[in-house]
Structure 1
Amino acid sequence: MSRLVIIGAGGFGREVFAWQRSSPRFLQREKIDSVVYVDDRDDLSGLPAPIVGSIEDYIPSEFDKLICAIGSPKLRRQVVEKIEARSGVFAQFVHDTAVVGLNVVAGSGLVVCPNVVISSDIVIGVHSHINANCTIGHDVVIEDFVTLSSSCNLTGGVVLEREAFLGTAVTVIPGKRVGAGALVGAGSVVLRNVPPGVTSFGNPSKSYGSRNV
């Protein structure tokens, strides 16, 4: 049997705990019999599972299956790199209610929340988060460490580059690209390519300078 270790006990970490409890197929496939958190903060209370140590001190065991539940793409990458250097093994978590079509290729550490629809011929990089109620159209490419907040809509042929962050209910029209490290604000409609490293928001979405990331 395996222990599920959720890296990060913040809001998304608590959501991941709830989602895995309502995903018996995932629990059976990964042979999960217990769940714990790893987090550097020592002032957290009311969590649904115990914190067993800090990120700095955690050493994975051969029975640990890991999920990194840190929302910030940059911070998530930094933490994952530390844990992978200690031979940590990250699971793919796809909620039992998600719909996944044909020819979908995804990397380790993927988190797919409830009621997501992933259609066909899609590539998803490592350690990306796809929050509840998102839809992903055909021929989409999502690179490493991308975050989709809830209810995003990626239409056909969209590309999200490494560490892009989409706020709640963002829509990207067919064939458009969101650059590496860019942030698209909640409710935005992307009608043209978003350059790397900028903040962009509005309908239609407009870019407003480089982010300090």
Structure 2
Amino acid sequence: MSGEKISMPQYAVYGASGCGRGVMPLARTQLRNEGILNDNLVFIDDNAELHDINGHKILSYEEFIKADRTRSHIAIAIADSKIRQRLAERCCIDGLNPWTIIADNAVIMDDVRLDEGCIICPFVTLTSNIRIGKYFHANLYSYVEHDCVIGDYVTFAPGVKCNGNVVIEDHAYIGAGAIIKQGRPGDPLVIGRGAVIGMGAVVTKDVRPRTIVVGNPASLLSKE
């Protein structure tokens, strides 16, 4: 319609700490490849003391949602999965769109299904016949092999090696350099809901929900 003002889509990385600053260049590159200007890309952080970081404005959540919410997209770059869920639910209630960010050098092969809001960092590989839930974070150099099922709000630190036929339930955290042994068809290795796998751990058997395992082979450290 002549004279009608058309709002531009807005994009944000929620969180301006280390995780968010690592995700922002991926977001910028993805938008550039889609022909969207950097001026439409900001950080959201309610506790930031600065007004901009690395050339991008920092807005509070309330400032960001003043724009057209139907054209606003947010990637939640918060490592803590419980906070990530709380923020995701807040954004959903407020009518904002979840935004998936995938590094342009990530490798995604056959029949890989990602739910909304995932962040896939550089040098990540997802092979074949994989199902991944909402708001998954896969950090640098991680991989997921064939026939794995990963739940919602799961976090991979850098260098995680998740081999085939593994089930990882919601809110599990897999530490840097951890190795998860391959399961069997019909008998997957299972990492329970909310479990924490320590840095460099070698997981050779199921891990119970809400437990912490460390070492090689991984063994129980504590239970929440």
Q: CA deviation at 1:28?
A: 3.3
Q: CA deviation at 1:89?
A: 0.3
Mapping 1:52-201, distance limit 5 Å: 52-54=59-61, 58-59=64-65, 61-175=69-183, 176-201=189-214
**How far apart, in 1, do the equivalents of 2:23 and 2:134 lie?**
17
Q: 1:83-112 deviations in whole A, cap 9, x for unaligned?
A: 111111011111100010110111000100
Counterpart amino acid of residue 99 in structure 1: V
The residue aligned with 2:14 is 7
Q: TM-score, normalised by structure 2?
A: 0.87
The worse-fitting range, judged by mean Cα deviation, of 32-41 and 93-102 is 32-41
Q: CA deviation at 1:136?
A: 0.9
1:32/1:62 CA distance change after superposition, 3 Å: farther
> Given that residues 169 and 188 in structure 1 are in contact (C-alpha distance below 8 angstroms), is that contact kept between their aligned partners in structure 2?
yes
Q: 1:20 aligns with which of 14, 21, 27?
A: 27
Q: 1:125-178 deviations in whole A, cap 9, x for unaligned?
A: 010100110111000111000000111000001111000001101110012211
> Given that residues 6 and 68 in structure 1 are in contact (C-alpha distance below 8 angstroms), is that contact kept between their aligned partners in structure 2?
yes
The residue aligned with 1:41 is 47
Counterpart amino acid of residue 68 in structure 1: I
> Given that residues 51 and 57 in structure 2 are in contact (C-alpha distance below 8 angstroms), is that contact kept between their aligned partners in structure 1?
no
**Partner-residue secondary structure (3-state), 2:206:** coil
Counterpart amino acid of residue 117 in structure 1: T
> Given that residues 2 and 32 in structure 1 are in contact (C-alpha distance below 8 angstroms), is that contact kept between their aligned partners in structure 2?
no
Q: CA deviation at 1:208?
A: 2.0
The residue aligned with 2:57 is 50
Q: CA deviation at 1:27?
A: 3.8
Which stretches in structure 2 are left out of the alignment for 5+ residues?
1-7, 184-188
**How far apart, in 1, do the equivalents of 2:60 and 2:203 lie?**
41
Q: TM-score, normalised by structure 1?
A: 0.91
Query: How large is the Cα RMSD of the aligned pairs?
Result: 1.8
Q: CA deviation at 1:210?
A: 1.8
- The alignment-based identity, stated in percent, is 29
**How far apart, in 1, do the equivalents of 2:222 and 2:94 lie?**
37
Q: CA deviation at 1:180?
A: 0.5
Q: CA deviation at 1:57?
A: 6.5
The residue aligned with 2:217 is 204
**Partner-residue secondary structure (3-state), 2:97:** coil
Q: 1:66-98 deviations in whole A, cap 9, x for unaligned?
A: 100000111100111111111110111111000
Q: CA deviation at 1:3?
A: 2.2
